[in-house]
Each structure stands twice: as structure tokens, then as C-alpha cells.
Amino acid sequence: MSDVEKRDTVIIGAGPGGYVAAIRAAELGQSVTVIEKSETVGGVCLNVGCVPSKALINAGHRFQEAADASTFGITTQAPSIDFSKTQEWKQKKVVDRMTSGVRMLLKKHKVDVIQGEAVLDSDTKLRVVSTGPKQFMSADDGLTIEFKNLIIATGSRPVEIPGFKFDGRVVDSTGGLNLPEIPKEFVVIGGGYVGTELAGAYANLGSHVTILEGTPSILPNFDKDMVAVVLKQMKKKGIDVVTSAMAKKSVQDDNSVTVTYEVDGKEATIKADYCMVTVGRKPNTDDIGLEMTDVKTTDRGLIEVDTQGHTSVPNIYAIGDIVPGPALAHKAFFEAKTAAGAIAGNKTANDWVGVPAVCFADPELATVGLTQTEAKDKGIEVSTAKFPFAGNARAVSLDEPDGFVRLVTTKDDNHNLLGAQVVGPGASDLIAELSLAVNSGMNAEDIALTIHPHPTLSEPIQEAADIAIGFPTHI
């Protein structure tokens, strides 16, 4: 018979949502237990996702800068790369440093972390099977916890498609981040955020990359004119993009993998060193015992929640990739704080107007709130104001003049900001100001009257606002 322990706030998963929920709950005076089945904290994002991918992207940029700075009158010798050292830097100096920081924060807030796999028994109990040290387990290697409140933050995992089992030279995004060598030929199936980012990273490191995308365009969540800027750069890097392509099968040997795909009813093959599949992710809700509870899920396996993260069971909350909405770490951060606050009795709510989304392509893309198309679909009349980075002194001095800032405002004298898009240098940082403006209900005049420093990449935001209110300056 397993031991039974009573706990206050229990969190399943120590990813971006889970660990932030734990810290906030502890700050609000709750006694917190986190159950994490892996050896590390930080989840996919910190260990094998957004953080290490940005490290690899940065390495690619540095390699390219070393290879050719002739635009600035600088002559360099052809650089070489020891990819094992690149991977070591990525792991030890970036990932390990960040995960150890999270573990330190959990310890500081006196959060009890259990390494084990949690399975729900009811609306108030769960079982933990050890996946690590046994000191907290009973002799039969099990622990039953009775909880007052539960936050489920189990995240998601890559989708595997028929004919492309993750094995050997066919890898998911985790494998793509940890290749032992830079492939000469690299096939990426799926031209979404992850596929586009890693395709660009490996192209910068010297790979010839082919992207196979099933829809008519890569990055379908972004406007076509934004994607066009990325495609222009991809062409310069020699990346081949094949759209409306359906991947059929893969055959591999010790040295290569051959990918068969179909376009317009015609089959073709590509031989590569590795094939990475990034066609989406599925929520980790199918093996945690939800069927033993009254928690309701959608037909996609997502958990239904209200604006505070409550599920259909009042004392059980869900956050992150397992609930409806974009699967983004920063959204999980926000939902984590909301759920922890709700348990404490605070009037918190996930009441954002827009969640910013970023793709770290070359150049970067970012969006928040409504696009012009989305506004039209909602029956909202809007105006747009667009300022190109080609008119920005800082972007030109960086030799990165491609792209633009666009504001989407109401089509009236108020010019209320409904959305914004950025494609170009620093888009991932610039979107924060625009997210604040959208979520605060600001209008174009508020931005136009905010002095932006010169010369900086932020100026196109003010320039676009000037255009929106009818007083363009540098265009």
C-alpha cells in the first residue's frame, strides 16, 4: 500500500508554466510541491526548445559575420567551426546555466520538487511513480498525494508523422538541436516557427537546407508580405522552399536518409544527412489519468479552462500548451501567475487583448493583436500605417534594411491600436512596446507623442504612428 501525503498546492510539470506557478504560489504564501518526471527543470523551452535554439541561431549569425564582413570594408579569412564546442557552449553555458538558476529559485522559495511521473486517481488524489532518487518514496516505489489544489502544466511533445519515425537520421526538434555534426544536406519537414528558425540556423552554419511545407506558404500564421521578406533572405542563403509538399516516407542507412515527397501528384526524392520533422506538437494530456477525474477536454486533447485557469473541477487548474490558445512560453508564464493568484483568492484573470508571437527567422518576425486580415474577418474597419526599415538610420548602418513596422488601427479619428507587426532587425524586442500599447488600449497618437531615441531600431514604431495620424516625417 502506498503512503498517502496531504499537500496544499501541487503542480505537475516544471516547465515555463509549472515553475513560474510554483514561484508565484510560494510568494503568495502557499506550500508548494512540484512533480517533474525528467531530471531537469525548465521544460522543453529551456532545455530543448526556445532557449537552446536561440543559442544555435546566434552561433550561425556569428559564423556568417566572421565569414563575410566585406560590406563594411573588412577582410577576413574563411572561418572554421568545431561544432562539438558549439554544442558544448550551448549546453553548459546557456541551458545548464539557466536551468540551474530555475532550480535555485525553486529552492529559495522552499518549493518541494519531486522527480516522478504523476497520474491522477481522482479530483483530489494522484499517484507518483519515481523516475529519480527514491528518498521521498516508500518501499513499493510509490507515493499517493491528496491535494487541495492542483495546477496541471504538463506541456506538449512533437507530432510524429507516418513514414518518419524519430530514429537515427530522422529527428524531431530536440534531435535537430543536438546533431553531432553540421549536415551538408538537411531536410526540414514543416515550415512553421521551429522549422524556419532551425533551417536558417543550419544554413548560416553552412548546410544546404530544403524545407518541405504542406501548406501554400511557410509561416502561415504571419502576413504574406512579412513572409516575403524572410523568403528573400532564404533565397540568398540558398535555402530551397517547397510548398504544398506532402512528405510520404523516409529510408535511411548509416550515412544518409532519403525523403520521398509529393507535389501536385508527382513524387520526388531528396537525399540528406538528416531529416528534421517539425509539423506541430500535441498536448501531454493523454497519459496523466484525466479519465479518472471530471476534468473536461476538447477533441484535440486540450483542457477546457476559464479566464483564471479553472478546469471543470474547481480545485484543478491547467496552463500552458495543454489549454487552448497559442503554445508559447510567455503565455504560460502569464497563465501560471493567474492560476497561482486565483488559488490565493486574488482577482487575477487571463484577460489580455493580444499575446505577442515571435519567429526568430532571418530577419525576425513578430506580431501582436489583430492583423488587417483578422480585423476584416471580424468585420472591423481598420487602417494600416507602415514604415520601412530602409528609412531607418540604425537599420541601414547595421546593413539590415529589409522589413517594416506596421500598425493596425481603428478607421476613425481615434486611431485606437488593435494590432501591430514587425519584420526586420530586433523585431523580437520591438514587439514588447507594441504589446504594451495594444494591451493598454493606447492609440497611434500616444505612440507618436512618445519620444523614441535616435538612432535606434525603435524609431520606425513612432514613424508608423506619425503616418497613422496623418503627419508622416521621414517618408
Residue range 256-272, pLDDT digits in tens? 999 999 999 999 999 99
Residue 268: name the closest of 246, 253, 251, 238 by CA: 246
Q: Residue 216: what pLDDT?
A: 97
* pLDDT for res 130: 85
Comparing CA positions, the residue from 154, 187, 192, 193 lying closest to residue 171 is 187
**Sequence spans of domains, the chain:** 3-49+88-157+282-343, 170-279, 357-468
pLDDT tens-digit series, residues 352-385: 999 999 999 999 999 999 999 999 999 999 999 9
pLDDT at 138: 46
Question: In angstroms, what CA-CA distances link 137 with 127, 144, 222, 431?
Answer: 11, 10, 48, 46
pLDDT interval class at 230 (50, 70, 90):
very high
- The topology (CATH level 3) of 170-279 is FAD/NAD(P)-binding domain (3.50.50)
CATH topology of 3-49+88-157+282-343 equal to that of 170-279? yes
Quote the pLDDT of residue 4.
87
pLDDT band at 1 (very low <50, low <70, confident <90, very high): very low
Each residue's pLDDT tens digit, 160-193: 999 999 999 999 999 999 999 999 999 999 999 9
Which tens digits make up the pLDDT trace of 429-451?
Answer: 999 999 999 999 999 999 999 99
- Annotated binding residues for NAD(+): 190-197, 213, 280
Top CATH class of 3-49+88-157+282-343 equals alpha beta
Catalytic residue ranges: 454
Question: Angle CA(96)–CA(366)–CA(23) in degrees, nearest 5?
Answer: 40
Band (2; pLDDT cuts 50, 70, 90): low
What CATH superfamily is the domain 357-468?
FAD/NAD-linked reductase, C-terminal dimerisation domain (3.30.390.30)
Predicted confidence band of residue 50 (pLDDT cuts 50, 70, 90): very high
Binding site, annotated residues for FAD? 54, 154-156, 321
Does the pTM surpass 0.85? The reply is yes
**pLDDT range class, residue 152, cuts 50, 70, 90:** very high
Q: What pLDDT, in 10s, does the model give residues 315-355?
A: 999 999 999 999 999 999 999 999 999 999 999 999 999 99
CB 16 within 8 A of CB 46: yes
What's the pLDDT at 134?
54
Of 232, 219, 226, which is closest to residue 422 (Cα–Cα)? 226
pLDDT at 139: 41
What is the per-residue pLDDT for 252? 97
pLDDT tens digits, residue range 244-302? Answer: 999 999 999 999 999 999 999 999 999 999 999 999 999 999 999 999 999 999 999 99
Confidence at residue 131, expressed as pLDDT on a 0 to 100 scale: 82
Q: How far apart are CA 465 and CA 450, in angstroms?
A: 10
> Can you tell me which residue has the cell 503627419?
471
Looking at residue 93, what is its pLDDT?
97
Q: What is the pLDDT of residues 104-126, one digit of tens each?
A: 999 999 999 999 999 999 999 99
Instruction: Kindly state the average pLDDT of the residues 125-144.
Output: 73
